[in-house]
């Protein structure tokens, strides 16, 4: 009985609340899945973060806000350029396929973006460069007395406002990307609706 009474007290003093949430998991074979709150330790693992030809990309399909948030994370001594400013989303509703194009919209991101994982802790370059021109990189290493050091790269955020029905799955089709002068086909990322229990922090 005492143990049962201790459970709600633990949640109160740690400012954490258990929740069951539905979200879209964006899939990539090399992805590290990051949680969207409390420095990457709270919420659902809805952020796909993966290496792509020497740089890093991130994607999160936010079901609640009906937005797709994309990040281009560029290590020092690298340059990147998107070859067009639209992205395609292929979705399936009642077994019917539809392909829709959406404009990529450059966006601010907060610094130090405290609620996000350490991979997102870099200064906001918004307004300093043309987000559809040549983007430059930078590397930041955050050192800790205890535990391993954390590395983050300058990253550029894009938001896509979606008008999609309540779909179960689909594919995000990235535009072509020029990296250090070489053009690559952008990755195609499958997404799938998931339901998962998570711990939400109240005071992160």
Using one digit for the tens of pLDDT, what is the confidence trace for 122-163?
888 988 889 999 999 999 888 777 768 888 999 999 999 887
The three-class DSSP label of residue 8 is helix
146 neighbors 162 (Cβ within 8 angstroms): no
pLDDT band at 91 (very low <50, low <70, confident <90, very high): confident
SS3 38: helix
The model's confidence at residue 21, banded by pLDDT at 50, 70 and 90, is low
For position 70, what pLDDT does the model report?
96
Ranges of each domain in the chain: 2-201
- Provide the token pair at 8: 């709600």
**Range 45-65 average pLDDT:** 90
Which residue has tokens 């070859």?
Answer: 83
What is the model's pTM? 0.83
**Mean per-residue pLDDT, 63-87:** 92
- Rounded to an integer, what distance in angstroms lies between the CA atom of residue 180 and that of residue 198? 39
For residue 154, the cross-strand partners are 74
**Sheet hosting strand 79-82, strand order edge to edge:** 135-136, 79-82, 177-179, 182-184
Q: What does the pLDDT read at residue 154?
A: 94
Cα-to-chain-centroid distance, residue 157: 9
**DSSP labels, 10-21:** HHHHHTEEEEEE
Q: Distance (Å, rounded) from C-alpha 5 to C-alpha 140? A: 44
Residue range 31-40, pLDDT digits in tens: 999 886 665 5
Dist CA 95 CA 172 (whole Å): 17
What is the length of the chain?
A: 204
Confidence at residue 176, expressed as pLDDT on a 0 to 100 scale: 97
């Amino acid at each position: 009985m005492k143990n049962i009474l201790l459970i709600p007290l633990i949640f109160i003093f740690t400012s954490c609340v258990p929740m069951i949430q539905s979200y879209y998991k964006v899939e990539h074979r090399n992805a590290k899945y990051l949680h969207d709150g409390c420095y990457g330790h709270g919420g659902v693992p809805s952020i796909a973060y993966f290496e792509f030809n020497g740089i890093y990309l991130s994607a999160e399909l936010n079901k609640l806000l009906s937005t797709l948030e994309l990040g281009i994370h560029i290590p020092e001594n690298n340059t990147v350029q998107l070859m067009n400013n639209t992205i395609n989303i292929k979705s399936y509703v009642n077994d019917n396929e539809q392909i829709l194009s959406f404009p990529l919209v450059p966006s601010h991101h907060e610094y130090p973006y405290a609620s996000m994982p350490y991979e997102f802790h870099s200064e906001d370059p918004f307004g300093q460069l043309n987000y559809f021109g040549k983007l430059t990189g930078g590397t930041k290493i955050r050192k800790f007395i205890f535990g391993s050091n954390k590395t983050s790269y300058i990253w550029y955020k894009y938001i896509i406002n979606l008008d999609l029905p309540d779909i179960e799955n689909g594919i995000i089709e990235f535009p072509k990307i020029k990296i250090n002068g070489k053009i690559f086909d952008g990755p195609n990322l499958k997404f799938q609706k998931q339901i998962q229990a998570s711990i939400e922090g109240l005071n992160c």
